[in-house]
Amino acid sequence: MAERKKQTVLGTLVTILIIAALLWARYDEVRDEQARDGELRDEQVTIPIPSAEKSTGGESERSAGSERNSETSRGSQVGRADVAAGPKLRAVSLSSTSYQIWENCSLIDRRGNDGDSFHVRAPHGNEEVRLYFVDAPESAARSYGNGDTNHKRIAQQGAAMGGLDQYQTTQVGVAAKAFTKKLLKGKKFTVVTSGERVYNSHRKYAFVLVEWQGQRSYLHELLVAYGLGRIHTKPMTLPDNTAGSRQKKHLYELQQFAQENRYGAWGVRGSK
């Protein structure tokens, strides 16, 4: 009788431990998703970027009050910068006939989206696009089943963006993802692509045009101008036939703007 009671107690304890482990795993997963979506940032790392609602208006501006209250309560994790004197962004012209133009695209909210790569719903169907010219940092350090990691890539990104350590670099990646998501989610935007695939994958290289301070601008330029992406990956002739080499030179001018104003990676303070 005593032995049976002991077995019952042990079985109950094992069940409780299994349930606790499952709940903790789910909690950890939710926190990871929040971090990657920019909803959860480390208060010890400050990343100055402009407030997107000042530029996009509409739904973002209406929700700004609740966001500001939330940020005040958790210590203003991302510095809000004045965007009155902004960078010299290139005027957009779609005069080239070498590109497909997908108007009225919308963001498909997927876990795998990042600052420079994301899923979109285009008029002809769903696509995943990768920005020309820019590489936003990884939003988390990861290890994969085959033994590989993304740590080397993060180190390269951090070195190119002011000598950041791994944790600081991934925090900039989180901020880049949140910045892009805020510009695209719930809005219509334009994708311009030649249809070229990224390393023969299903993803396609593209320019993405967003509304910024009342005008249409290139997303890759905004990421560089506010220190949320390094000048890297494939260059391309712009849709107005501006040479890729000329655009790359312009991007270095935008990067200098970010450095001088200490935006994004160039103004990171604090570490875990």
Q: In whole angstroms, what is the distance from residue 131 CA to residue 49 CA? A: 20
Nearest to 218 by CA among 196, 200, 235: 235
Whole-number pLDDT of residue 52: 53
As given in the structure block, the two tokens for residue 58 are 């509409």
Provide CATH code, domain 37-267: 2.40.50.90
Whole-number pLDDT of residue 269: 77
Q: Confirm if 78 and 225 have CB atoms less than 8 A apart.
A: no
Phi, psi of 119 (to 5 degrees): -90, 140
Q: In whole angstroms, what is the distance from residue 225 CA to residue 204 CA? A: 23
* Residue the block writes with tokens 């910068």: 81
Whole-number pLDDT of residue 76: 31
Whole-number pLDDT of residue 75: 31
Q: What string of pLDDT tens digits covers the 272 residues of the chain?
A: 666 666 676 767 767 777 776 665 555 555 555 554 445 455 556 777 776 545 444 333 333 333 333 333 333 333 444 444 789 999 999 999 999 999 999 999 998 899 999 999 999 999 999 999 999 999 999 888 888 999 999 999 999 999 999 999 999 999 999 999 999 999 999 999 999 999 989 999 999 999 999 999 999 999 999 999 999 989 999 999 999 999 999 999 999 999 999 999 999 976 65
Nearest to 222 by CA among 262, 198, 260, 257: 257
Query: DSSP labels for 96-165?
Result: -SSSEEEEEEEEE--TT--SSEEEEEETTEEEEEEESSEEPPPSS--B-TTS-BSHHHHHHHHHHTTS--
Q: In whole angstroms, what is the distance from residue 246 CA to residue 72 CA? A: 42
Q: In whole angstroms, what is the distance from residue 154 CA to residue 89 CA? A: 27
Whole-number pLDDT of residue 226: 97
Specify the DSSP class assigned to residue 232: -
Provide the pairing of β-strand 49-50 with 80-81.
parallel
As given in the structure block, the two tokens for residue 113 are 């989206």
Q: Confirm if 174 and 42 have CB atoms less than 8 A apart.
A: no
